[in-house]
A and B are shown apart, each in its own frame.
Chain A
């Protein structure tokens, strides 16, 4: 035992010595560099400047040491689209008790993502589990699963999962094998079977929008590309603007809540922010097809104490159409 102790002590001393030498050399180098830097600036100093640090404390610095740096213009480009926004985890809550199938969410989504196909990314399903159970309206969009089946099967990493929870598509990499569509149990992925007719959309604004925009997975449908897959992207382009996703903002009944799980807060279209965990606990929130183990980021609140009659929604219900064609 003693022998070992001695050995380890010796090793420690040895290491410490080496470390000391290295840091001494390093320190020497550093002081040399700083002295050189100072040398150019020391003349005529003596003025002190008051500055505030990022955490709010006031400090005093010699004005000669303050150097102006250029504002980083490439900041947006440096932001890694595949990594996502740091320290965030986006979630959505869909309150089935409030949905009366007004389809404003779908209209807004279709319009803002320039959806021209036959299959909307956000659909309101007419659901009824069995004859004796009450029917209800169920808005369904990409569930942004934490264990996304679509991402697992993609052979080229065209669809990917970000740290902030979003599942996005790089339409410029997609090879059009449609394996992700086969894998998705929620049937939310749509395919551009032909050249998307976005150019034929009547709105002139769209052309202006597209012209200024560089294609990015963060704004799906901007533009859509023939032979690739599209789907709901949880609107990161809106999040960047500190705005709510199109569907959330458009819903007149506040069916949707959107927010950050780490903040434990979600906000609805009227701007009311509530505590996520409390909402889910009080209203018995659940996830769609949870048993499959896909771990969705979208929560549902069961359709109890409903806002309106189910029948009201039938007026807008169209079994065979979810995207209105431009006339």
Chain B
């Protein structure tokens, strides 16, 4: 049990240390390099990528799918854990929302990087056609950004009021800034009721919107005639994959933030244990849909489909495919089933492999399919028969990932990553209930 003062001073945002500054500076450098590469791409055209008429989409698209998938973590933790009243979520939801916001913003930017004519972006609104899945994306991504931002902001309001008081003397400017964000929060009954209701509505809204976001992302592929994409299983497969990518990135980042901000007293082994169970659940569901996607078609695969599956099982992409499946999915399930596997450090390593696996999995979803069209690839340069990203593509893609980290870093710097007011309230509740079993 901690006093109010200790909780506030523990959880209030703190100035960057030396290590944090170096981290942030290197992120900024990476982003600048990426922007330079992108400008070069704008001038010279997509020629600077290794995409060509057959591999017409590359890592920009798979990276986009990865960001969309990662943004699902907001839906999972905030909405599902909240609506099922899982109280262990308290110190985790805000970090999940921060990841969600960063990922979905970067998803929107990444898809624009893939557009060869970003100067004609407005055509998407002027000449919008409702039957195109891209138009659905144009609708759903901004919607998800707005809901995610509000879902991050509303629970923050009481904390901003606390921070206003906390920084009043030490840093009046920062205090004032937090005061403005607190919107005259006094903590009155009426205000609390309004806030509670608004959050409840958002938490319910984000479930269908989040599911739709993943679904539309899947439909971008499954509405084409392509072998490997033309699958009715694709939407649930994507949703379950997003569940894995989201929880994986949450675990990885929580471990880092806990270390960097010394929050061991607030984010405990108990939380990691619970998150580990959530990740196992996610992985098992994903395994189920993966079997539906990659094993069952073997029984009735047409010639083209069989060729596609063979390149994954034993052909060009087999090493990557098995690495992603075994290290990114099967092994985590086995390790996480044991209690020792759900300790913070092993969880961090597993989370990292799951996320890296999730990124490469999207690469495997996009690239091999494109290189197996119905008609044979003929009459084009030999290099068009394969695809591996060019330097430009890597620089730009790494920059988008760095940009996501940068958004997360800045938000973590200025926002209390663990809800202060809620922690105080819960502690008070525990005291009155005299039930100190849960920390």
Residue of B with least CB distance to A289: B374
Identify which of B51-59, B66-74, B275-283 touches chain A.
B51-59
Task: List residues of B (100-118) whose CB comes within 8 Å of A's CBs.
Answer: 114-117
Identify which of B81-89, B220-228, B241-249 touches chain A.
B220-228
Q: Report the interface size for chain B: residues with CB under 8 A from the other chain.
A: 46
Cα-based distance from A119 to B117 in the complex (angstroms): 20
Given A156-B126, A318-B379, 8 more A-B residue pairs with CB atoms under 8 Å apart are A118-B384, A119-B52, A155-B124, A155-B128, A179-B132, A185-B226, A194-B46, A227-B116
Q: A140 contacts the other chain (Cβ, under 8 Å)? A: yes
Q: B376 contacts the other chain (Cβ, under 8 Å)? A: yes
Is the CB–CB distance between A156 and B128 below 8 Å? yes
Cα-based distance from A152 to B133 in the complex (angstroms): 9
Q: For chain A, what secondary structure do more than half of its interface residues adopt (helix, strand, loop), or is it mixed?
A: loop
> Which 9 pairs from chain A and chain B are nearest by CB?
A176-B116, A322-B379, A227-B116, A194-B47, A155-B134, A155-B132, A194-B45, A185-B225, A176-B117
Contacts of B1 in A (CB 8 A): none
Closest Cβ–Cβ distance, residue A63 to chain B (whole Å) = 52
Contacts of B373 in A (CB 8 A): 185, 187
18 A-B pairs with C-beta separation under 8 A: A119-B53, A125-B378, A140-B375, A155-B134, A156-B120, A157-B127, A176-B117, A177-B116, A178-B57, A184-B225, A185-B373, A186-B374, A187-B54, A191-B52, A193-B51, A227-B116, A319-B379, A320-B381
B178-221 CB mask vs A (1 if < 8 Å, else 0) is 00000000000000000000000000000000000000000010
A-B contact number at CB 8 A = 145
Q: B370 contacts the other chain (Cβ, under 8 Å)? A: yes
Q: B331 contacts the other chain (Cβ, under 8 Å)? A: no
**On chain A, which size bracket covers the interface?**
35 or more
Q: B314 contacts the other chain (Cβ, under 8 Å)? A: no
Task: List residues of B (365-396) whose CB comes within 8 Å of A's CBs.
Answer: 370, 373-382, 384
Closest Cβ–Cβ distance, residue A174 to chain B (whole Å) = 7
B51, B121, B131, B380: which contacts A175 (Cβ < 8 A)?
B121
Contacts of B376 in A (CB 8 A): 125, 127
B30-62 CB mask vs A (1 if < 8 Å, else 0) is 000000000000001111010111101100000
Known contacts A182-B226, A194-B47, A322-B379; decide if A155 and B135 are in contact (CB<8 Å). yes
Q: B138 contacts the other chain (Cβ, under 8 Å)? A: yes
Is the CB–CB distance between B129 and A154 below 8 Å? yes
Q: A181 contacts the other chain (Cβ, under 8 Å)? A: yes
Cα-based distance from A322 to B381 in the complex (angstroms): 9
Residue of B with least CB distance to A154: B132
Residue of B with least CB distance to A193: B47
Known contacts A178-B116, A181-B56, A182-B226; decide if A126 and B378 are in contact (CB<8 Å). yes
B270-301 CB mask vs A (1 if < 8 Å, else 0) is 00000000000000000000000000000000
Cα-based distance from A70 to B234 in the complex (angstroms): 61
Is the CB–CB distance between B124 and A195 below 8 Å? no
Is the CB–CB distance between B375 and A187 below 8 Å? yes
Closest Cβ–Cβ distance, residue A132 to chain B (whole Å) = 15
Cα-based distance from A173 to B120 in the complex (angstroms): 7
Is the CB–CB distance between B131 and A189 below 8 Å? no
Cα-based distance from A161 to B44 in the complex (angstroms): 31
Known contacts A181-B56, A182-B57, A189-B53; decide if A228 and B116 are in contact (CB<8 Å). yes
Is the CB–CB distance between A119 and B380 below 8 Å? yes
Cα-based distance from A84 to B46 in the complex (angstroms): 32
Cα-based distance from A227 to B120 in the complex (angstroms): 11
Q: B123 contacts the other chain (Cβ, under 8 Å)? A: yes
Cα-based distance from A233 to B122 in the complex (angstroms): 26
Residue of A with least CB distance to B46: A193
Cα-based distance from A320 to B223 in the complex (angstroms): 30
Task: List residues of A (73-128) whose CB comes within 8 Å of B's CBs.
Answer: 118-120, 123-127
Is the CB–CB distance between B223 and A191 below 8 Å? no
Is the CB–CB distance between B123 and A175 below 8 Å? yes
Cα-based distance from A189 to B380 in the complex (angstroms): 13
Is the CB–CB distance between A321 and B44 below 8 Å? no
Known contacts A153-B134, A194-B47, A320-B381; decide if A183 and B225 are in contact (CB<8 Å). yes
Contacts of B384 in A (CB 8 A): 118-119
Contacts of A184 in B (CB 8 A): 225
Task: List residues of A (192-212) whose CB comes within 8 Å of B's CBs.
Answer: 192-195
Known contacts A120-B379, A154-B132, A186-B375; decide if A192 and B225 are in contact (CB<8 Å). no
Is the CB–CB distance between B123 and A156 below 8 Å? yes
Is the CB–CB distance between A153 and B115 below 8 Å? no
Cα-based distance from A125 to B374 in the complex (angstroms): 12
Cα-based distance from A140 to B54 in the complex (angstroms): 16
Contacts of B53 in A (CB 8 A): 118-119, 181, 187, 189-191
Contacts of A195 in B (CB 8 A): 45
Is the CB–CB distance between A149 and B225 below 8 Å? yes
Closest Cβ–Cβ distance, residue A200 to chain B (whole Å) = 15
Contacts of A67 in B (CB 8 A): none
Cα-based distance from A153 to B384 in the complex (angstroms): 24
Closest Cβ–Cβ distance, residue A171 to chain B (whole Å) = 10
Is the CB–CB distance between A157 and B129 below 8 Å? yes
Contacts of B49 in A (CB 8 A): 193
Cα-based distance from A120 to B384 in the complex (angstroms): 14
Is the CB–CB distance between B138 and A194 below 8 Å? no
Is the CB–CB distance between A227 and B117 below 8 Å? yes
A124, A126, A193, A318: which contacts B45 (Cβ < 8 A)?
A193
Cα-based distance from A320 to B378 in the complex (angstroms): 6
Is the CB–CB distance between A319 and B45 below 8 Å? no
Is the CB–CB distance between A182 and B56 below 8 Å? yes
Residue of B with least CB distance to A318: B379
Q: A226 contacts the other chain (Cβ, under 8 Å)? A: yes
Cα-based distance from A186 to B53 in the complex (angstroms): 12
Is the CB–CB distance between A153 and B375 below 8 Å? no
A162-178 CB mask vs B (1 if < 8 Å, else 0) is 00000000000111111
Contacts of A177 in B (CB 8 A): 114-116, 134
Closest Cβ–Cβ distance, residue A316 to chain B (whole Å) = 11
